[in-house]
Structure 1
Amino acid sequence: DTHSLDRPGSKVYYNGTLIHTYLPYITITSPNNNDLWTAGQTQNITWTSAGLENKNVSIVYRVVANGKPAGSITYLARKNILATAGSYSWNIPSDFPAGKYVIYIDQNIPTSGAEKDWKNISKVYVKIASPSWCYTFSEDLYSGVPKPKQVRALQTVLRAEELYGGDIDGVFDTNVKKAVQDFQKKNGISPNNGRFGPTTREKMNALYGCKEVKPSITVTSPNGGETWKIGETKNITWTASGLPNGDYDRIIVSAVDFSGGAIEYSIATLLPSQRSYSWVVPVETSQGNITGGNKFKIRVVYLALIGNNAEDYSDNFFSISAADSSVDSLSVFSNTTATSSPTIKLTSPNGGETWQNGQNHSIAFTYSGANRGKVYLYLINDSISDPSNQYKTIPIENGYGYAIYDISLSNGVYSWTIPNDQYKYSPGSKYKIRAYWYAFSNEGASLGSFSDTSDNYFSISVAGTPVPASCVPSWTYTAWSACANSQQTRTVTDLNNCGVTTGKPSESQLCSTAVVATCTDTDGGKDYSVRGAVKDTKYPNPYTADGLYTDLCYAGLKQIFEYYCDASLGYSQGEWRVCPNGCSNGACNKTVALVPSEGNSSQDLVASISAAIAKIAQQIQQLLSAGQ
C-alpha cells in the first residue's frame, strides 16, 4: 500500500502498518547568505517547502558574534504563518541595531535548546546596516559603571562590529568586557583589558561618532521693504534646522529699531518647534512706545539650555507706520470673535480711589479662559494729551525695569508702592491702570494678547495729604479650595464691611489638579533682578549637595535661567529671561554694568548642566508617578 513515494512527506504502509515517512523540508530562497539590508527598509523573506501543507511555521533571528549565533531568540512570526505562503514581509525598524544576524524558518522552534534539536530547519545569514545611527562617547566605561545610556550605545556598536551577542540592556557585564577586549585586539589597542578608556573611545568615535550639526535660523518675513501699520496683525516667519528641541530650549522673537542705536522690543517667547508668530503691531510695549520708523528688523534667537545657540535678523529694514485714524489702538488687544478666548478684567483701581505717593496699594484683576501667561501693568496719565510724552504711559516697575508677572502665581493681585517721585507720578485726578495679558495654553502655545483698563479715573496725591473720608475695604480671604471641574474657589471678606468691591481679590481661578506646595524660592518667585535659590522637597536637585536650583547668568547672551516655584503644579520649574542691561551673578542688571560681567563661573556651568539633567530625571519621575 504505497502512495507517491517521490513526494516529501509521503507515508509508506505495509499491510496497513506505517513503516516509513518522508520528512518535509523548508529552503530559504531570499535573502542569500551575507546579503546587506538597511534598517528602516522593508525586505521580503522567501522560501520553498514540501510536505507542510496546512502547517504553520515560525520565523526568528539571532545575533551573530565572532562568527557564531549568540544571544536569545527573537520572533518575527510565531507559528502564525502557513508554510505554503512562501514569503514574509519584514519592516525593519529604523532604530534596529546594526550587525550580523542569522534568520531561521522552522515548523517548531523551541524557546530554548540547541539548534541541532530543531526540526525542518532552514537558515541564512544577513548583515543589517544602520547608516543614520551615530553616537559620540565622552566618558570611560567599565564593569559596573552606572551609565546605562552610554553602555547601551557601546553594546550597539559592539554588535555592529559582530563582537557582542548579548542584550542591549545598559549593563556593563562580563560579556561586554569580553567584547571590548576583542575590539581592542582587532584594532591593536593596548592594553586590551576590556576597559573602554580614552584610546578605545577615540577609535570607536572615529567609526561611529556623530558629526556636529549646529543649529541655524533664517528670518523669512519681514525681510526688508515691507510697511506694517500699528494695530495690524502680521505674520513673522522663519526657517530653522538642527534645533535639538530640549525641554527648556526656547525661540525668542523681538523687533529691533536701528534708527537711534538698537532699541529691542520683546515680542514673544515660543517653543523650538514653532516657525511663525502672529504679531499685533503695538503702540505700547514693556520696553517703551513704538512710534514708527523705517529702520526696523526682526530678530529671532534660538536659546538652548545646553548646546549651541543660533540667531538671525531680517536681511534689510522694514517700516512701521502709525495706525489709521479709524483704528482704536486698544482694540487690537481685544478678541471679539471667540467667546471662549481668554479675558482679563481690571477691578482695582476702577475709579474714585485716591492713592498716595510712597504708599502701598493693590492692583487687582480677574481673568478667565486660561491660567498661564504674563501680565504687564501700566499707569496712564490722561491729564497729558501728548501721546509721545514719556510720562503719558509709565510701565509699573518692579525693580527690574518693567512689571512682568506670572499670572498663575499672582492670583490676580499685585502690591504696588507708588514711587515718591512727584514729577513722574505727579498729583492729579485723571489716572488709570491698564493691564496687558499675554496668555499661553498649558502646552506653552501663545493664545494672543488681551487687555483691560480702569473704567474710571482715580487720583494720586502727595504723601500726607488727607484722603477724602470714605470706607476703605480691608480684604481677607481663605485658602484656595481643592481643584474641582478645573476651578478653585475661596471666600473673600471685607473686615470693614464697606459694601464695595474696590480692590477685591479674585474668588475663583482655573486649575488642573489640587497640589500641595513642596517648593520655596528665596527671591519670592520670578524676581529677575535678584539671584534666587529654589528648594524643591518633592524633586530636589540630585547633583548639588544642598539640593537647590540656583538662578544662572549667561552674560554673553544677556540671558538668565530663572528657577521658580509653579503654584499650579506644586514643584519647581525654570525659564529663560532676556536682560536688556545684561546680567551678572545669576540676576539681571537694573542698569548697564560699567565693567563687563564674566557671566557664569565653571561651577555655575556644571550646576547648569546638572540642573538640566535633574529636570529630565524629574520629568521621568512625574511620568512614572502618573502611571504613564
Structure 2
Amino acid sequence: IQSIKVIFPNNGEVFTAGEQVVIKWESTGIENVRIDYTVNNGLLEEDWFELVSSTPSDGEYETGFSVPSNLYRIRIKDVLDGTPMDACDGIFKVLQQPTIIVTAPNGGENLVSGNKTNVTWVSTYIDSVKLEYTTNNGASWVEIAVSTPSDGLYEWSVPAVSSSLCKLKISDTKDNTPSDLSDDNFKISQNQPRVAVTSPNGGEKWEAGSSQNITWTSDAVQAVKIEYSVDNGVNWTTLITSTPSTGFYNWNPISKISSTNCKIRITDVANLYSDLSDGVFSITPEAYVKILSPNGAENWLSGNLNEIRWSSVGVADVNIDYSINNGASWTTIASSTPSDGSYSWTVADENTEQARIKISDASDGVPSDTSDANFSIYKDKILRLVFPNGGEKIYLDTNIVWTSVNIAKVGLKYSLDNGYSWKQLVDSMSSTGSLRWKIPTTDTSSLVRILVYDISDLAINDMNDSYFFLNTDIPVFNVRIDNPKVSESSPERIISWESSPQIKLVKLEYSMNNGKNWVLIEDNYLSAKGSNKFIWKYPSNIDVNKIIVKVSDKGSNFYKTATPKQ
C-alpha cells in the first residue's frame, strides 16, 4: 500500500529567509516524489508552485525559502500520478532576514570623554540589540548596553578614555547575528573641543585668483565652517558651511577683492568654538600681463627700433619672445627685463606675416600673454591697394584703402579707360592708408583703375587687380507717386519706381518737412528688375499732396525721391 506523510515543517515553525531547511516525510511504496509550496495557505490549486519536480522518496530534501510570508505550506506527492499526497497540517512562517547598519558614530568623529552622544542605527526584524565599543580597532570589546530595544537610538555617555582607534559594534541580542561595526575609526579625547587657525595667521600675502591652503588644528571637533573677512573682521563671507575638521582646506580661487585687512575664521558647525587669524593678511591683486603693441595687424620693418608695450600687475620681471610662425616656435628677445611696460626692440631680420610677441613672468612663466593676432615683419618697402580692387560697382563717394610699410608719402591717380590715360587724385599725402574720394558725377566708366605709388620711388606702386565700374547702371530711378483714380479723397497712392538687377530689396519712406525727417512706409520690400509699384494706404492725418516719398536700396546707399503727381 502506498502512503506519504509530511513530518517537517508541519505546523507553526518559524524560519528566516535564506535559511536552509530540511523537509522531512515518511512514505511507503513510492520511488520519487514532487514537492510543492505555497505562500498563501494554498486554498486554490493555482496558489501552489513547484519546489522540485522529482526527488528520491528517501524522506529528506534540503532547500531554502526566500520570500517572506506567514502563510507557508508544503505538499508532497507521488511523481507518477500525483497520488498519494500529503500537505502540512498547518502553516509555517518565513521571516525577512534581520539586518543592522550602524549610522553613528560611523568613522571620523571626534568625541569628548564625559559628553553624551547619540548612537544611531537602522535595523529590520530585530527586537533588541547589544552595544559595544573598542579602543584598539576591534582587538577587544567593552559593553555599552547588554540589551536595549532596537529602536535606532541610544544615548551614550562617552567613557574616560583616549584613543583614535575606536569603533562601535551593534548585534542582535539573540545570538549576536546579525551585527555591524562603524565603517571607520573615530576618536575619543579627554580634551575639550577647540579650533586654532594656523594659516593664514597674519602677515601672509596671497594673490587673488590663486590657490592657497587654509590650515588649522582642532580637538573633538567633527566639522567646521570657514569664513573670510576683507575688513579686519567687521563683515564675514562664508567659504564653506561645513567641511570635515581635517586641518586642511584648499581655497581655490582666492577672492578677487584685494585688501590688506584680511582674516580667516574657523568655527565648529555647532557654533560653539571658533578661532580667527591672529593678525591680518593681504590679498594682492591678481597678477597679469597684457600685450598692447604689437597686438595684431601691425607692419614692422626689419632693423627698425620699435617699442614693445604691455601692462602688468604683480609681475617684477618679464621674458619677451617673438615667433615668425604663429607661435609654433619662439625666439628670445629679452630675459628677465623689468616689467615697466616698455621695451625697445631692434626688429628681427625676418620676412613674415605670422609674427607674434609673447611676454611672461620671468620667475615661473605665469602669467603670460601673446599678441591677439599676427603682425608682419618686412625687410623691404611694401605698398598694396586694398579697395577698390576689381569688379566693384561704385556710385557714391567712397574710401580708397591701401596698406604700406616703410613708405612716408604716396600719390594717387585714377583711369577711366583701363589705364590708357590717368587723372591725378592726389600729388602727395601721408601714407595713412585711406583717402575719401569725392567722385565727379560726370565720370562714368566700366573700365576704372586706381594707382597708388610711393612719391620717393615711383617703381613702388600698386593698382587694382582688375577694373571696376563707376556711375553705371544707377540702382534706383524714375520714382513716381500716382493717384489710383478712385477719388481724390481715397487714402491710397501708387508709388512706382524702376530698379536695376542688383537691387533685391528696397525701403520706402515719406517726409512731411521737405526731407529733414523720414517716416518708414515699408522696409525690405521685394524689388525686381525694371518697373515696380507699391499701393500705399497713407495715414489719414497727413496731407498727401505736401509730402516727399523716397525709395532707397536696403543699405540706404542709393535713393530717389518724388512728390505726388497733381
TM range (shorter): under 0.3
Taking structure 2 as the reference length, the TM-score comes to 0.19
Taking structure 1 as the reference length, the TM-score comes to 0.17
> Which has the larger Rg?
2
